[in-house]
Chains A and B, each alone.
Chain A
Amino acid sequence: MELQTLTYLVVGATFALYIGIAIWARAGSTKEFYVAGGGVHPVANGMATAADWMSAASFISMAGLIAYFGYGGSVFLMGWTGGFVLLAMLLAPYLRKYGKFTVPEFIGDRYYSRAARIVAVVCLIVCSVTYVIGQMKGIGVAFSRFLEVDYDTGLLIGMMIVFFYAVMGGMKGITYTQIAQYCVLILAYTIPAIFISLHLTGNPIPQLGFGSTLAGSETYLLDKLDQVVTELGFAEYTTQTRLSTLNMFVYTMSLMIGTAGLPHVIIRFFTVPKVRDARTSAGWALIFIAILYTTAPAVAGMARLNLMNTIEPTKGENLVYDERPQWFKNWEKTGLLKFEDKNGDGRIQYTADKTTNEMVKVDRDIMVLANPEIAKLPNWVIALVAAGGLAAALSTAAGLLLAIASAISHDLLKGVLMPNITEVQELRASRIAMAGAIGVAGYLGFNPPDFAAGTVALAFGLAASSIFPALMLGIFSKRCNKEGAIAGMIAGLSVTLLYVFQHKGIMFIASTSFLGDMSPNWFFGIEPNAFGAIGALVNFAVALTVSRLTQEPPEHVQEMVEHIRIPVGAGQATGH
């Protein structure tokens, strides 16, 4: 069957499955809309968390970035998994014990202040919307390739589907759908990796194949890769650092702390029956995530090697442009891959030198989707990858939109501005909020600040600098009070936002950047994507200092902290 037809068929079938589940599990009450009735098994919850977590950034973008950054790409691998260790040990069990719906609700109660709750809502919206922009980039890439249209059209169609999809169900629908989405995306990710690993090294397990010798040779795959890229003037794959060791350190830390501070992931731990389950849920989620994250570096390295071999099949004999493979032509249509014959020899030169390089545009975000085609895998595998990419983008976008919607309707409207609205009105408000968020993120997604994974990294930085310290201090420091937490959140978020905006532009609109996105202007050479860790440090420092200088929290709040520190007596999650 032809590739295009097959792709429509596979993508159509998986969508029918998700929508079917969403309708079957339609949320009736606000409680079900937000937290799925508190009755989800840890393994199921872990799987759904994994789907929620692994977005277009993980699925579509990450391996492409690693393919270009080599060792430097490790920041994403360590950052996006190591954060779960922090989440499991420092936040999840305690927030579950506390037993409410949303992150701002906890902050509002713990810091006995509506102002703190509102500040938390603002922080949450800023980082979630940034995150959705990253997803929109991924969705745009996936749909443009899948429908063979340009990026902007792909994005527009994607936005409409996300809207329909997220507004339909709530958490309950999403939880079951996300389990299905996890299965689709993990198969879509690992099957091509197994094929490629088998083909290149004879070992079907990509994690092992990546460290093995090439089939029919004594040379290790990684040594060959290092040799191929350095010959063309690129940095050595296994040692190329991302700017500097300090930058890598801070970047990784920022992603880790951000992981533990992202509201749409934290909200997941409210849905398990017990505190004990919150601890194991994080472990299960991490296992399901690790399957993809340990495969990704192999996908990245092998894709890079295959790409290099396609362009220069034998030494000195570069690919003739007119004989380029079909995948090359398809991606040219999306505008995400561009060739320019600079020396007029009709062949493709791909080098590190800007003046002679003829692959003038290779959007990193196309690598994973193009990978099975580059490796000449069967058509059904290529179709499956398209379905997996869409599953990843949709599941995360839906989870994020839900977090935004609950922050606006539940925390801002019901909690502060209009306490008397009915459940029906609250549900309606949350659906309107979702639509608004899709609109804003989609609009900004036409000119995203970075590749999908880079944009998402910014969102993590914002979460790291604002939400995580307030939550952690709320549990581990009885002395931390309302003044400290509010000052800390505002300081952390402002420092990070200012740093990001002055380099990336206000609201990421590049023309409004007043310093230009240039490394000489960076503070100690730390790139904006990595600045969240510094913001978090500022937040901690300000919160602790201000708390010391002001009155200690009232008795009942200190008792509440004692209460959430032990598992016994955790009821179901409640909202009122």
Chain B
Amino acid sequence: MAFKNEEDRKAYWKENLSLVAILLVIWFVVSFGAGVLFADALNSIRLGGYKLGFWFAQQGSIYTFVVLVFVYSKKMGDLDRKYGVEEDE
């Protein structure tokens, strides 16, 4: 095991899980929230020709997904280095 001690191992995994949890909440809110459950309510707001709920369902959620994956990749890289478990070059 590459961790210095058992506490580090637990802390690394915990930070990983909370990062994923936060990102998945955003994932849920933009798609299932804004795009499905609250689409009707949001449709009263307009974004140019788009009704906002419709926009989230067909455009906005997809843009957010892309950002989420790259944020995850960046943050996990930082986390690996913090605990010294990154891969060798």
* Distance between Cα atoms of A56 and B61 in the complex (Å): 23
* Distance between Cα atoms of A213 and B48 in the complex (Å): 8
Within 8 A of B (CB), among A246-289: 248-249, 252-253, 274-276, 279-280, 282-283, 286-287
Q: Nearest chain B CB to A214's CB is how many angstroms away?
A: 9
* Distance between Cα atoms of A93 and B57 in the complex (Å): 28
**Interface assignment of A211: CB less than 8 Å from any CB of chain B:** yes
* Distance between Cα atoms of A90 and B69 in the complex (Å): 11
Q: Nearest chain A CB to B15's CB is how many angstroms away?
A: 12
* Distance between Cα atoms of A74 and B56 in the complex (Å): 9
**Interface assignment of A293: CB less than 8 Å from any CB of chain B:** yes
Tier of interface size on chain A: 35 or more
Q: A222 to B63, Cβ gap below 8 A?
A: no
Q: B87 to A286, Cβ gap below 8 A?
A: no
A220: chain B residues within 8 A (beta carbon):
48-49
Contact residue among A84, A248, A280, A570 (Cβ-Cβ distance under 8 Å from B36): A248
* Distance between Cα atoms of A211 and B58 in the complex (Å): 11
Q: If A77-B62, A78-B31, A220-B49 touch, does A282 touch B69 (CB 8 Å cutoff)?
A: yes
Q: Nearest chain A CB to B47's CB is how many angstroms away?
A: 7
**Interface assignment of B20: CB less than 8 Å from any CB of chain A:** yes
Per-position binary interface string of chain B over residues 21-36, scored 1 when its CB falls under 8 Å from any chain A CB and 0 otherwise: 0011001000110011
A280: chain B residues within 8 A (beta carbon):
70, 73
B27: chain A residues within 8 A (beta carbon):
82, 85
Q: A570 to B87, Cβ gap below 8 A?
A: yes
* Distance between Cα atoms of A84 and B65 in the complex (Å): 8
* Distance between Cα atoms of A145 and B65 in the complex (Å): 35
Per-position binary interface string of chain B over residues 50-85, scored 1 when its CB falls under 8 Å from any chain A CB and 0 otherwise: 110011011101110110111011001100100001
Q: B49 to A283, Cβ gap below 8 A?
A: no
Q: Nearest chain B CB to A377's CB is how many angstroms away?
A: 23
* Main secondary structure on A side of the interface with B: helix
**Interface assignment of A290: CB less than 8 Å from any CB of chain B:** yes
Contact residue among A66, A84, A294, A569 (Cβ-Cβ distance under 8 Å from B69): A84
Q: B49 to A222, Cβ gap below 8 A?
A: yes
* Distance between Cα atoms of A220 and B13 in the complex (Å): 50
Contact residue among B48, B54, B63, B73 (Cβ-Cβ distance under 8 Å from A279): B73
Q: A566 to B50, Cβ gap below 8 A?
A: no
* Distance between Cα atoms of A293 and B31 in the complex (Å): 14
Q: Nearest chain B CB to A380's CB is how many angstroms away?
A: 29
A565: chain B residues within 8 A (beta carbon):
13, 16
B80: chain A residues within 8 A (beta carbon):
276, 566-568
Q: If A221-B49, A252-B36, A566-B2 touch, does A71 touch B57 (CB 8 Å cutoff)?
A: yes
Q: B43 to A239, Cβ gap below 8 A?
A: yes
Q: Nearest chain A CB to B13's CB is how many angstroms away?
A: 6
Q: B59 to A294, Cβ gap below 8 A?
A: yes
Contact residue among B24, B35, B66 (Cβ-Cβ distance under 8 Å from A74): B35
Q: B86 to A252, Cβ gap below 8 A?
A: no
Q: A82 to B61, Cβ gap below 8 A?
A: yes
Interface residues in chain A, defined as those with a beta carbon under 8 Å from any beta carbon in chain B: 66, 71, 74, 77-78, 81-82, 84-85, 88-90, 93, 207, 210-213, 220-223, 238-239, 245, 248-249, 252-253, 274-276, 279-280, 282-283, 286-287, 290, 293-294, 297, 562, 565-570
List the 3 closest A-B pairs by CB distance, nearest first. A220-B49, A74-B57, A283-B69
